[in-house]
């Protein structure tokens, strides 16, 4: 459908979404594996028409911007992977729709000092049926909870992987993405047998 | 020297949607954040208004819509409209995301992504 007029000479792109509360380290995680310094793109929204696509006739309403940070990994000459951080503020839910649409999967980055900030993300991906994992970013001064404690606190299904990570560390972030891809592939296999 | 007058020019002097003639929708091409675009012509070959020329300049190598938006410092919605116009004019070509919402990603694509991450 959308590919009509689209050109096969270009390589293709896929994306992974990195979600979590404000300041949990999403951009740090993206930056630790991205081949470019994370870029920021902004979307203009009129406050009055949030969630609605049409700005016609609302020129007088105030506008605000939502920032999305993202990075890039060239997989091979035909395939590019983009990693998108979700906007930190929960009121920009409608941006999540565009982010999640067509995504391979999502990483919910959690901070054990503020676990509740990732409830909305977990809820969103569960409802949306997008495969996700939970990565607990281990801040230096945070008490290290076990993954099972986090799983129970977030009430996550047993089949959803939960792991500890250090978002600043490239190898640790690689492990997070590898865990996600295994989960996505298992999910896809399951879908085919259904 | 940094004076207050410089800050004046940090923001574009033209309102963002003035660039697109007030249009906020980008036709039916279905451009999204990771649609890849590339220019077929250089800015020297086409006569364009400044923002269009800036966008075209950015697409001389394959690049995603999100990257164009970040690099020319225009909102996503505006860049989508500009790119749609350039595509309609035949100056830019595009490739949609590999994984439209209604389609499950192929196992080959998933395996390629996994292998690529492992190689990092």
Q: In sequence order, what are the residues at sequence separation of 6 or more whose Cβ sits closer than 8 angstroms to the Cβ of residue A125?
A: A19, A100, A106, A108, A131, A132
| Cα B85 to Cα A174: distance, rounded to the nearest angstrom | 39
The pLDDT of residue A139 is 78
Structural domains counted in chain A:
1
Look at residue A40 and tell me if it is in a domain: no
pLDDT (mean) for A107-127: 92
pLDDT (mean) for B47-73: 95
Look at residue A29 and tell me if it is in a domain: yes
pLDDT at position B66 over 80 = yes
Q: What element of type H or E holds B78?
A: helix B76-88
Please calculate the CA angle A81-B33-B108 and round it to the nearest 5 degrees. Answer: 35
Selected residues 32-71 of chain A with any CB under 8 Å from a CB in chain B: 33, 39-44, 53-56, 65, 68, 70
Express each pLDDT in B1-52 by its tens digit: 444 444 455 555 566 677 777 676 665 688 999 999 999 999 999 999 999 9
pLDDT (mean) for B79-90: 95
The pLDDT of residue A4 is 43
Of the partner residues B34, B69, B110, the one whose CB lies closest to the CB of residue A181: B110
The pLDDT of residue B86 is 96
Q: Which of A105-114, A152-161, B13-22 has the lowest mean pLDDT?
A: B13-22
Higher-confidence position of B15 and A67: A67
CA A45 to mean position of chain CA atoms: 21
For chain A, percent helix, then strand, then coil, each to nearest 5? 35, 25, 35
| Cα B113 to Cα B91: distance, rounded to the nearest angstrom | 31
A13 and B35 within 8 Å at the Cβ level: the answer is yes
Global ipTM: 0.86
Domains in chain B, start-ordered, CATH in brackets? 14-119 (1.10.10)
Indicate the pTM of the whole model.
Answer: 0.85
Residue of chain A whose alpha carbon sits nearest to that of B76: A43
Number of helical H runs and strand E runs in chain A: 5, 7
Look at residue A149 and tell me if it is in a domain: yes
Of the partner residues A12, A72, A177, the one whose CB lies closest to the CB of residue B95: A12
The pLDDT of residue A97 is 87
Please calculate the CA angle A67-A86-B92 and round it to the nearest 5 degrees. Answer: 65
Q: CA nearest A157: which of A179, A125, A182? A: A125
| Diameter of chain A measured on Cα atoms | 53
pLDDT tier at A30, thresholds 50, 70, 90: very high
Look at residue A41 and tell me if it is in a domain: no
Give me the residues paired with residue A163 across strands: A135
CATH of the domain at A86: 3.40.50.300
- Counting other chains too, the contacts that A144-151 makes at CB distance below 8 Å and 24 or more residues apart are A144/A112, A145/A112, A150/A110, A150/A112, A150/A115
Look at residue A132 and tell me if it is in a domain: yes
Structural domain range at position A175: 14-34+82-193
A170 and B120 within 8 Å at the Cβ level: the answer is yes
Selected residues 27-86 of chain B with any CB under 8 Å from a CB in chain A: 29-30, 32-38, 62, 64, 66-67, 69-71, 75-78
The pLDDT of residue B4 is 46
Look at residue A60 and tell me if it is in a domain: no
């Amino acid at each position: 459908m959308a590919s009509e007029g689209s050109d096969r000479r270009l390589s293709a792109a896929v994306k992974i979404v990195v979600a979590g509360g404000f300041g949990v380290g999403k951009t740090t995680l993206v930056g630790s594996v991205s081949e470019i310094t994370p870029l920021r793109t902004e979307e203009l929204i009129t406050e009055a028409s949030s969630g609605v696509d049409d700005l016609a006739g609302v020129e007088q309403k105030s506008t605000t911007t939502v920032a999305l940070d993202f990075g890039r990994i060239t997989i091979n000459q035909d395939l590019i992977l983009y990693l998108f951080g979700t906007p930190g503020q929960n009121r920009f839910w409608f941006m999540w729709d565009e982010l999640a649409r067509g995504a391979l999967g999502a990483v919910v980055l959690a901070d054990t000092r503020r676990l509740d900030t990732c409830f909305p993300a977990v809820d969103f991906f569960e409802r949306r049926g997008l495969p996700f994992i939970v990565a607990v970013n281990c801040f230096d001064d945070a008490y290290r909870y076990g993954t099972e404690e986090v799983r129970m606190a977030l009430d996550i299904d047993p089949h959803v992987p939960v792991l500890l990570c250090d978002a600043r560390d490239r190898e640790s972030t690689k492990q997070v993405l590898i865990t996600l891809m295994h989960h996505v592939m298992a999910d896809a296999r399951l879908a085919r047998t259904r | 020297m940094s004076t207050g007058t410089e800050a004046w020019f940090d923001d574009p002097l033209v309102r963002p949607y003035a660039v697109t003639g007030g249009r906020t929708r980008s036709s039916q091409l279905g451009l999204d954040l990771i649609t890849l675009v590339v220019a077929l012509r250089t800015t020297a070959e086409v006569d364009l208004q400044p923002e269009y020329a800036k966008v075209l300049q950015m697409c001389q190598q394959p690049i995603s819509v999100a990257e164009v938006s970040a690099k020319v410092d225009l909102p996503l919605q505006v860049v989508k409209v500009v790119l749609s116009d350039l595509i309609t004019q035949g100056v830019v070509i595009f490739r949609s995301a590999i994984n439209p919402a209604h389609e499950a990603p192929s196992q080959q694509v998933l395996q390629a992504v996994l292998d690529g991450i492992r190689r990092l």
